[in-house]
């Protein structure tokens, strides 16, 4: 443990830079413990504290720029990839769009404090064409705040942190085993929650071709578009689809027969938001509700018409 502390004291800034960089790039290695410990052991002088915060924030902005450029180049495909690989099932595109729509670029100031939001928000900023200087401005403020809070916690509670590390040191190799087990348990818990989330998504879907056939035969009661206004403005809607506020689903099906075909679509991986809405509609008595397989992206990829 003394060697670990000595390593942090000698190479702390590089460790912080590397840890923050890879975490913000998407690797599930938490940077906050490193920032807190560094705040406890690398803040002997005011200048060192400032350097620590600046280095951590710089690493975050560099990683976020990667996702911003990827979003700018590949659009929604990057957002869907992020949602699929994320350990947090809450990082669906729909949730991120809702927050971004409400607060705009300023949402990046607190993005890193919201689980599953940071990387998706930066990629979304690129996909929406937000000017880079504006992106960097808000992202830098948010990164400075995020790193600064962790460093401040380490500085304020440095005595308690020192006692905790001394306790781990007294345990010898078992202290390292305890840390490894805690980290493994954290990863396992995240994966288990995601497995349960994916199981929840198993529901009968309607394909794009099948939906087109049903529309041509006039056999669809209603099509519900539950994406945010930002997404609808960017890519358009399936002709005849009703835009629905996900918080006011009942308004979207007002006057619709519960015996008819209801199709719900979004732009989330695995049609996550669409499945949740479909389950609520089924619980409300609708007998035939199905998410659109592939969502709006599958409809556009098939070369079918959209309306704006």
For the stretch 40-82, pLDDT in tens is 877 665 667 888 899 999 999 999 999 899 888 887 677 666 6
Band of pLDDT at residue 100, cut at 50, 70 and 90 = confident
pTM above 0.85, yes or no: no
Q: What percent of the chain has pLDDT over 70?
A: 76
**Whether pLDDT at 145 is above 90:** yes
**Domains defined for the chain, CATH in brackets:** 2-200 (no CATH), 208-301 (3.40.250.10)
**Whether pLDDT at 270 is above 80:** no
**Whether pLDDT at 126 is above 90:** no
Q: Measured between alpha carbons, how far is 73 from 41 in angstroms, rounded to an integer?
A: 41
Helix extents (H) in the chain: 2-24, 32-41, 46-74, 76-85, 93-103, 118-127, 132-156, 158-170, 173-200, 208-216, 229-235, 249-252, 272-283, 295-301
| Residue with more model confidence, 9 or 278 | 278
**Whether pLDDT at 91 is above 50:** no
Longest dimension (CA), the chain: 75
């Amino acid at each position: 443990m003394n060697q670990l502390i000595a390593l942090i004291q000698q190479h702390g800034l590089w460790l912080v830079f590397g840890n923050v960089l890879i975490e913000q790039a998407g690797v599930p290695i938490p940077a906050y413990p490193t920032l807190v410990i560094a705040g406890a052991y690398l803040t002997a002088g005011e200048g060192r504290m400032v350097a620590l915060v600046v280095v951590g924030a710089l690493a975050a902005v560099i990683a976020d720029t990667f996702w911003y450029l990827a979003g700018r180049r590949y659009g929604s495909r990057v957002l869907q990839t992020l949602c699929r690989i994320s350990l947090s099932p809450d990082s669906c595109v729909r949730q991120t769009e809702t927050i971004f729509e409400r607060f705009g670029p300023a949402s990046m100031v607190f993005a890193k404090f919201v689980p599953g939001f940071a990387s998706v928000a930066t990629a979304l900023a690129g996909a929406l064409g937000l000017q880079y200087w504006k992106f960097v401005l808000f992202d830098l403020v948010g990164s400075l705040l995020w790193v600064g809070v962790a460093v401040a916690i380490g500085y304020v509670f440095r005595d308690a942190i020192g006692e905790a590390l001394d306790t781990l040191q007294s345990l010898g190799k078992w202290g390292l085993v305890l840390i490894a087990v805690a980290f493994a348990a954290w990863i396992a818990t995240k994966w288990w929650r995601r497995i349960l989330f994916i199981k929840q998504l198993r529901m009968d879907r309607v394909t794009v071709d099948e939906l087109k056939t049903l529309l041509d035969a006039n056999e669809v009661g209603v099509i519900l578009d539950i994406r945010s206004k930002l997404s609808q403005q960017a890519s358009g809607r399936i002709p005849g689809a009703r835009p629905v506020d996900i918080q006011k689903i009942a308004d979207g099906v007002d006057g619709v027969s519960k015996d008819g075909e209801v199709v719900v679509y979004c732009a989330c991986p695995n049609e996550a938001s669409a499945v949740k809405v479909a389950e609520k509609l089924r619980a409300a008595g609708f007998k035939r509700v199905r998410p659109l397989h592939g969502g709006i992206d599958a409809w556009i990829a098939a070369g079918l018409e959209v309306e704006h």
